[in-house]
Protein backbone atom coordinates (compact mmCIF):
# COMPACT_ATOMS: atom_id res chain seq x y z
CA UNK A 1 0.00 0.00 0.00
CA UNK A 2 1.42 3.38 -0.97
CA UNK A 3 1.46 6.42 1.30
CA UNK A 4 -1.67 8.12 -0.10
CA UNK A 5 -3.98 5.13 0.48
CA UNK A 6 -2.54 4.79 4.01
CA UNK A 7 -3.28 8.47 4.67
CA UNK A 8 -6.81 8.13 3.25
CA UNK A 9 -7.49 5.07 5.41
CA UNK A 10 -6.38 6.97 8.52
CA UNK A 11 -8.43 10.06 7.63
CA UNK A 12 -11.52 7.87 7.11
CA UNK A 13 -11.40 7.14 10.86
CA UNK A 14 -11.51 10.82 11.87
CA UNK A 15 -15.06 11.56 13.10
CA UNK A 16 -15.04 15.19 11.93
CA UNK A 17 -14.12 14.41 8.30
CA UNK A 18 -16.40 13.22 5.50
CA UNK A 19 -14.98 11.72 2.31
CA UNK A 20 -16.41 12.21 -1.16
CA UNK A 21 -15.70 13.60 -4.59
CA UNK A 22 -13.92 16.98 -4.65
CA UNK A 23 -15.35 20.05 -6.39
CA UNK A 24 -12.59 19.73 -8.99
CA UNK A 25 -14.04 16.26 -9.78
CA UNK A 26 -10.68 14.43 -9.75
CA UNK A 27 -9.73 12.06 -6.94
CA UNK A 28 -11.06 11.92 -3.39
CA UNK A 29 -11.65 14.77 -0.94
CA UNK A 30 -12.15 15.01 2.80
CA UNK A 31 -14.32 17.85 4.11
CA UNK A 32 -15.43 19.22 7.45
CA UNK A 33 -18.20 21.71 8.21
CA UNK A 34 -18.58 22.75 4.57
CA UNK A 35 -14.84 23.17 3.95
CA UNK A 36 -12.95 20.85 1.66
CA UNK A 37 -9.79 20.21 3.65
CA UNK A 38 -7.68 17.74 1.67
CA UNK A 39 -7.75 16.26 -1.84
CA UNK A 40 -5.95 13.20 -3.12
CA UNK A 41 -5.46 13.51 -6.88
CA UNK A 42 -2.78 10.84 -7.15
CA UNK A 43 -1.01 8.15 -5.13
CA UNK A 44 2.00 10.35 -4.43
CA UNK A 45 0.57 13.66 -3.18
CA UNK A 46 -2.27 15.43 -1.40
CA UNK A 47 -3.48 19.02 -1.67
CA UNK A 48 -4.39 20.63 1.63
CA UNK A 49 -6.45 23.79 2.19
CA UNK A 50 -4.82 25.65 5.07
CA UNK A 51 -6.19 29.18 4.39
CA UNK A 52 -3.97 32.07 3.26
CA UNK A 53 -3.47 33.23 6.85
CA UNK A 54 -2.23 29.83 8.01
CA UNK A 55 0.06 29.43 4.98
CA UNK A 56 1.59 32.85 5.63
CA UNK A 57 2.05 32.10 9.34
CA UNK A 58 3.58 28.65 8.72
CA UNK A 59 5.55 29.54 5.58
CA UNK A 60 9.05 29.33 7.15
CA UNK A 61 8.31 25.84 8.50
CA UNK A 62 6.57 24.74 5.29
CA UNK A 63 9.51 25.80 3.14
CA UNK A 64 11.86 23.88 5.44
CA UNK A 65 10.23 20.56 4.47
CA UNK A 66 11.20 18.89 1.21
CA UNK A 67 7.78 17.21 1.14
CA UNK A 68 5.83 20.48 0.90
CA UNK A 69 5.14 22.55 -2.23
CA UNK A 70 3.80 26.06 -1.69
CA UNK A 71 2.84 28.62 -4.30
CA UNK A 72 3.16 32.31 -3.43
CA UNK A 73 -0.17 33.64 -2.14
CA UNK A 74 -1.84 30.23 -2.26
CA UNK A 75 -4.25 28.88 0.32
CA UNK A 76 -3.69 25.29 -0.84
CA UNK A 77 -0.37 23.48 -0.38
CA UNK A 78 0.79 20.15 -1.77
CA UNK A 79 2.25 17.44 0.45
CA UNK A 80 4.33 14.88 -1.44
CA UNK A 81 3.69 11.43 0.00
CA UNK A 82 6.67 9.11 -0.17
CA UNK A 83 6.90 7.49 3.27
CA UNK A 84 5.28 7.20 6.69
CA UNK A 85 6.82 10.47 7.92
CA UNK A 86 5.14 12.29 5.02
CA UNK A 87 1.80 10.74 6.04
CA UNK A 88 2.38 11.92 9.64
CA UNK A 89 3.24 15.41 8.34
CA UNK A 90 0.02 15.47 6.32
CA UNK A 91 -2.07 14.32 9.31
CA UNK A 92 -0.54 17.05 11.49
CA UNK A 93 -1.29 19.67 8.86
CA UNK A 94 -4.86 18.37 8.49
CA UNK A 95 -5.24 18.99 12.25
CA UNK A 96 -3.99 22.55 11.77
CA UNK A 97 -6.41 23.01 8.86
CA UNK A 98 -9.35 21.77 10.92
CA UNK A 99 -8.53 24.27 13.68
CA UNK A 100 -8.21 27.08 11.11
CA UNK A 101 -11.55 26.23 9.54
CA UNK A 102 -13.21 25.88 12.92
CA UNK A 103 -12.41 29.55 13.50
CA UNK A 104 -13.72 30.59 10.05
CA UNK A 105 -17.33 31.72 9.44
CA UNK A 106 -19.46 28.57 9.05
CA UNK A 107 -20.97 29.35 5.65
CA UNK A 108 -17.84 30.47 3.81
CA UNK A 109 -16.91 27.60 1.46
CA UNK A 110 -13.32 26.74 0.65
CA UNK A 111 -11.98 27.99 -2.66
CA UNK A 112 -11.44 25.39 -5.36
CA UNK A 113 -8.07 23.67 -5.20
CA UNK A 114 -5.43 24.88 -7.60
CA UNK A 115 -4.52 21.43 -8.86
CA UNK A 116 -3.14 21.55 -12.38
CA UNK A 117 -4.42 19.20 -15.01
CA UNK A 118 -2.14 18.35 -17.88
CA UNK A 119 -2.72 20.52 -20.95
CA UNK A 120 -5.18 19.09 -23.43
CA UNK A 121 -3.41 18.35 -26.67
CA UNK A 122 -5.06 19.53 -29.86
CA UNK A 123 -5.62 17.04 -32.66
CA UNK A 124 -2.38 16.73 -34.59
CA UNK A 125 -2.19 17.96 -38.16
CA UNK A 126 -1.94 15.20 -40.74
CA UNK A 127 1.70 14.19 -41.09
CA UNK A 128 2.77 16.02 -37.89
CA UNK A 129 4.70 14.20 -35.19
CA UNK A 130 2.44 13.11 -32.33
CA UNK A 131 3.48 13.59 -28.72
CA UNK A 132 1.38 12.08 -25.94
CA UNK A 133 1.53 13.35 -22.37
CA UNK A 134 -0.68 11.65 -19.81
CA UNK A 135 1.10 12.44 -16.56
CA UNK A 136 -0.30 14.73 -13.89
CA UNK A 137 1.78 17.85 -13.44
CA UNK A 138 3.14 18.34 -9.91
CA UNK A 139 2.89 21.75 -8.32
CA UNK A 140 5.91 23.91 -9.02
CA UNK A 141 7.82 25.28 -6.11
Instruction: Please give the model's pTM, rounded to 2 decimal places.
Output: 0.74
Q: What is the pLDDT of residue 7?
A: 95
Q: Which domain holds residue 42?
A: 3-103
Residue 135 within any structural domain of the chain: no
Residue 141 within any structural domain of the chain: no
Residues of the chain with confidence (pLDDT) below 50: 117-125, 128-141
Asked whether 3 and 81 are in contact (CB, 8 A), the reply is yes
- How many residues in total does the chain contain? 141
Q: What is the pLDDT of residue 106?
A: 53
Number of domains in the chain: 1
- Return the bridge partners of 40, or none: 28
Stated as kind and residue range, the H or E segment containing 28 is: strand 28-32
CA angle 82, 83, 88 (to 5 degrees): 115
Residue 127 within any structural domain of the chain: no
Q: What is the pLDDT of residue 100?
A: 85
Residue 118 within any structural domain of the chain: no
- CATH number of the domain that 91 lies in? 3.90.1150
Amino acid sequence: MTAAPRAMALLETWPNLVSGPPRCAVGLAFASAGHEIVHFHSDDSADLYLTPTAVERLLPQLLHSGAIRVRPGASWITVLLDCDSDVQLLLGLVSVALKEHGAAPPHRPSPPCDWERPPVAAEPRPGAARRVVDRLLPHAR
